[in-house]
Amino acid sequence: MKIISLQFISLVVLLTLTVSSCKNLADLNVNPNGVNPATAHPNLVLSTVLTETGRAFVNLGYQDIAGVMQHTQKDGWSGAHNDYEWGGSQSWSEYYDILRNNQYVYDRAVALDFELHQGIALVMKSMLFGLVTDLWGDAPYSQALKGELGGGENTFPVFDTQEAIYTGILADLEKANTLLSKAKSAYNSNAESADVYYKGDPAKWRKLANSLALRYYMRISSKKPDVAKAGIEKIVANAAQYPIITASADDAAMPFAGNSNADSWPANTTYDATESNYRRLKMADTFVKALLAINDPRLAVWANKVQIPLVVDATLPAKTDKIVDGKRYLSPDQVAGKEVNTDPNYVGLPTAIVGGSTYNLSQTGEQAAKNPHVSWLNDIYRAAKGPLLKARLMSASEVNFILAEAAQKGWAAGDAKSRYEAAIKNSLETWGVGGAYAAYIAQKDVAYNGTQKQIIEQKWIASWTAATEAWFDYRRTGFPQLIAGPNAKRKVLPVRFYYMLDERNLNKANTDAALNRLELTPYSEADGKNSAWSKPWVLQSTGTPW
């Protein structure tokens, strides 16, 4: 009897708990610490959009694209950086993740009638889709970011043509210019706490919108010169309606918090005890020689001097190889048949060579891992954060170089010489060597000579840590005239990223259609159309860069 009573009580308790659990199941599934997406303020997501975009841009421009554009070379694990061994390893999923978050910001801003946030979101949408199409070519655009709606066209979106994407970007930037045209006090929302670029200042975001428009008009200038000319001239002719970035204080540049490796300057040594990622990056020989040839004051900001310079002395006895007073002295027989760079201050690593760790007679073992005969990056790049460690998304220097090139083409964009000089001055000021401007610009090889080649080469120099934009300029103009190294995958530089395997498998029909719109080149070779050497629309029939 006692046993029956216990079983009965247990059953009642169980049933009570079951009914109670069913009744309150919806309540239990609500996270009391979470945020309801249907009611959240867009600022909660905006900060993530901005910081992740900054990281994405600097991870390209300071890492592997800096290798392509020969700002840097790696002396180990160098395949992707030096040799273009990509093989479809790049993925656009990171960029589309940011774009989905940005779409949420925009949609919530529309629902709340937050015009400031709408304008900011359109600028970020333009910047990110611009990056995607610049890197790959045709890409999901009009049907992108709609996966939650279901349906084949949303789950497996078409790849819009590159031409259509650029057209859409320019239309969105025009809309953003209008949305961002009010005084800060006139908006019914505030983005100051979330905005790591401009602290919610609509005037600066408006300048960024129109400066990006200049970038993309120039991007299509070889394919649609009439559209590019009209667009740039429209902006330049009406500074009140289309303000642009002309001062470095208005640059779109994101500082790093440095609280963890996730929010720090990439390849820092603060969170990498081995220092491996930092020390593998070396100044590129191409870049160092270009800077030395014009006594560029930025070189000392970006690079360290060689720790142990080489000195080849014909007066020394044969077989001499010794270090005296911080210099390594060598007799001529010790360097016979070997490539040696004896510059006493700065030595770059040649492009895509075999055995980069032992270049310039660096010995095997510990010395090869820490080559003292090649210039390392400046010690500032060891830090997790710092006044010069910023993701540089758009600058006054870039804007002035764009306008200098437009004027050089004969378009109504101001005086080419003045724009060119302003661009250089902006860059020198950004890197803390503005005082050297007068002497620098007075040099014969720096003083404006009226050529596109000179404009783009100076723009390439100014793109340090933001080399992706230099790559896009190179593809369009062929400048600077860079040569692939002996170990590179092809004899010329690549011009796009491969479409990745998962996209080719899961969204095959649409990917195949995009591949068929690429232009095969003699360098596409065994890759077929999906090659880093196949040309997207923006390069087809232009004859550039090769």
* pTM attached to this predicted model: 0.93
Q: What mean pLDDT is reported for the chain?
A: 93
d(CA 477, CA 362): 37
Question: How much is the pLDDT for 62?
Answer: 98
d(CA 60, CA 55): 9
| Mean pLDDT lowest among 152-156, 342-346, 509-513 | 152-156
Q: What residue type is assigned to position 259 of the chain?
A: N
Confidence bin at 517 (pLDDT 50/70/90): very high
Split at pLDDT 50, 70, 90, the class of 369 is confident
45 falls in which pLDDT band (50, 70, 90)?
very high
Give the pLDDT of residue 148: 75
What CA–CA distance (Å, rounded) separates 114 from 179? Answer: 10
Closest C-alpha to 401, from 475, 469, 464, 455: 455
Listed residue (260, 289, 400, 395) closest to 347, CA to CA: 289
Looking at residue 314, its pLDDT comes to 97
Q: How many CB atoms lie within 10 A of CB 85?
A: 14
Three-state DSSP class for residue 17: helix
Average pLDDT of the residues in 236-245: 98
Residues 81-93 pLDDT 10s = 999 999 888 999 9
Sign of CA dihedral 255, 261, 266, 267: positive
pLDDT score, position 146: 86
Q: State residue 533's pLDDT score.
A: 98
Q: Quick one: average pLDDT of 498-515?
A: 96
Mean pLDDT of 151-158: 83
Contact 496, 162 (CB under 8 A): no
pLDDT band of residue 379 (cuts 50, 70, 90) is very high
Tokens of 98: 């940011």
Residue 9 clears pLDDT 70, i.e. is over it: no
**For 93-146, what is each residue's pLDDT tens digit?**
999 999 999 999 999 999 999 999 999 999 999 999 999 999 999 999 999 998
Higher pLDDT pick, 36 / 517: 517
- The C-alpha atoms of residue 396 and residue 431 are separated, in whole angstroms, by 13
The Cα–Cα gap between 302 and 279 comes to 14
Is residue 412 a contact partner of residue 263, using CB atoms and an 8 Å limit?
no
pLDDT digits (tens, 9 = 90+) for 299-319: 999 999 999 999 999 999 999
CA distances from 169 to 74, 115, 175 (A): 35, 18, 10
- Checking 325-330 for CB contacts under 8 A at 24+ apart, the result is 328/361, 328/373, 330/361
Q: Residue 252 has which token pair?
A: 């779109």
- Taken in order 170, 182, 118, 57, is the CA torsion positive or negative? positive
pLDDT tens, position by position, 318-346: 999 999 999 999 999 999 999 999 999 99
- Going from the C-alpha of 234 to that of each of 162, 165, 213, 230, 261, the distances in angstroms are 23, 21, 11, 6, 43
Q: What is the pLDDT of residue 33?
A: 58
State the pLDDT confidence band at 30, using cuts at 50, 70 and 90: low
With a pLDDT cut of 90, the percent of the chain lying above it is: 89
* Domain ranges (residues) in the chain: 304-376
User: Mapping DSSP to helix (H, G, I), strand (E, B) and coil, where does residue 120 land?
Assistant: helix
The pLDDT of residue 155 is 85
**Sign (positive or negative) of CA dihedral 370, 372, 376, 382:** positive
Higher pLDDT, 27 or 9: 27
pLDDT of residue 17: 35
The predicted structure's pLDDT at residue 388: 98
What tokens appear for 366 in the block?
């510990």
The C-alpha torsion from 374 through 380 and 381 to 385, rounded to 10°, is 180
Among 62, 54, 50, which residue's Cα sits nearest to residue 380? 62
Is pLDDT of 403 > 80?
yes
pLDDT tens, position by position, 163-186: 999 999 999 999 999 999 999 999
How high is the pLDDT of residue 34?
62
CA angle 476, 168, 507 (to 5 degrees): 85
pLDDT-derived band at 10 (thresholds 50, 70, 90) equals: very low
Q: Give the position of tokens 């859409």.
A: 168
Residues in the chain: 546
Per-residue pLDDT at 73: 98
* pLDDT tier for residue 8 given thresholds of 50, 70 and 90: very low
pLDDT band at 15, cuts 50/70/90? Answer: very low
Beta-carbon contacts of 61 under 8 Å, excluding residues fewer than 6 positions away, are: 392, 463, 465, 466, 467, 468, 469
Tokens 């990439």, residue located: 266
d(CA 93, CA 144): 12
Question: Tens of pLDDT along 55-84?
Answer: 999 999 999 999 999 999 999 999 999 999
Per-residue pLDDT reduced to its tens digit, 213-229: 999 999 999 999 999 99
> Would you tell me how many other CB atoms lie within 10 Å of the CB of residue 247?
12
Tokens, residue 464? 């340090």
